[in-house]
Amino acid sequence: MERMDDNPSTTKYTLANPHLPGEAYDQITDMQLWELFKAGDKKAFDSIYDRLFQPLCGYGDKICAEKALVEDVIQDLFISLWTRREHLGGTDSIKFYLFRCLRRMLIRRVQQEEKRGNAYSFTSGISFQLELSAKATSTTISDIEEERKKVLNQALHKLTDRQREAIYLKFYNNLSFQEVAEVMEIGVRSVYNLVGRTIDILRADFKKTNPDAELASLPMLLTLLSACLEYA
C-alpha cells in the first residue's frame, strides 16, 4: 500500500502493497477498506468482521429470535464474502451492504428451515422485535424519567413490523432513506411514509400523556429514539 499524499485528511492509497499498519484500517473510508478487502487484504477483512459482527447480530436478532441460527447465517455471510471477494461490486457503506445481504440470507434460511419443519420466531412479512435498551448511556436519556421511557416503549409496540424496522435502520444505524429502502426491498417513498407515520404515532402518544412535554417535539423524539433503541 503506497501513500500518495502525506496529509492524513487527503491520503490516497493504491494497491501496490495491499497492507496497512493495524491502526490505519480505522482511519480510511469504507470504500478504501472494501477495495483492500477485495484485493485480498486479510487484515481489512478482519477489520470489517470486528467492526460489524455485533451490529449484524443486533439486526439479525430482531428479525429472528433464534440467536444460534442468526450467528450461523452471519458466519456464512462472511465466508461467502471472502470466497467471492474478487467478484463483488464496490460500496461506500459496508454496513448497508452487509445488512442488505444478511436480511436476504436470513429470510431465505429461515424459510428453508420452516420447510424442514423447524419453526422459528419469524413470519413471511418479517416479525421485527424492538425494545428500549435497559442501558441508556446517553446523558440526554439518563435524565428522562422511567414513565416517559415506558410511554415510548408502549408506542413502539403499536407500530407495524415494517415501521419498527424502518426506524431501527434509519435512526439507530444511520442509514439513508435510499439505503433503508434497498435493505427492506421497498420503494424510497414507502420508507418516507413508514417513518412519517411512525413519528406521528410516537408524537401523539407523548402528547396524550403530557401535552406540554418537550419530548413531543420532533428533534427530542428523534434523539430519544436514536439513544434508546436496543442494540442487541
Q: Is the Cβ–Cβ distance between 231 and 58 less than 8 Å?
A: yes
Q: What is the pLDDT of residue 1?
A: 34
Q: Contact 214/122 with Cβ under 8 angstroms?
A: no
DSSP alpha helix (H) spans, the chain: 30-38, 42-63, 67-83, 94-115, 139-142, 146-157, 161-167, 177-184, 188-209, 218-228
Q: Locate 204 and state its grid cell.
A: 401523539
Indicate if the alpha-carbon torsion angle 74, 78, 83, 88 is positive or negative.
Answer: positive
pLDDT of res. 213: 55
Look at residue 230 in the predicted model and tell me its pLDDT: 47
133: which 3 cell numbers? 435498551
- The closest of 131, 145, 108 to 228, measured between CA atoms, is 131
Q: How far apart are CA 192 and CA 213, in angstroms?
A: 25
Residue pLDDT tens, the chain, 232 long: 333 333 433 333 334 345 566 668 888 999 999 999 999 999 999 999 999 999 999 999 988 888 999 999 999 999 999 999 999 999 999 999 999 999 999 999 988 888 887 665 554 334 566 555 554 444 444 555 566 667 777 777 888 889 989 988 998 898 999 999 999 999 999 999 999 888 888 878 777 766 555 545 555 566 656 555 543 3
pLDDT the model gives residue 204 = 81
Question: Which domains, and CATH codes, for the chain?
Answer: 8-115 (1.10.1740.10), 139-228 (1.10.10.10)
- Closest by Cα among 155, 138, 136, 156 to 146: 136
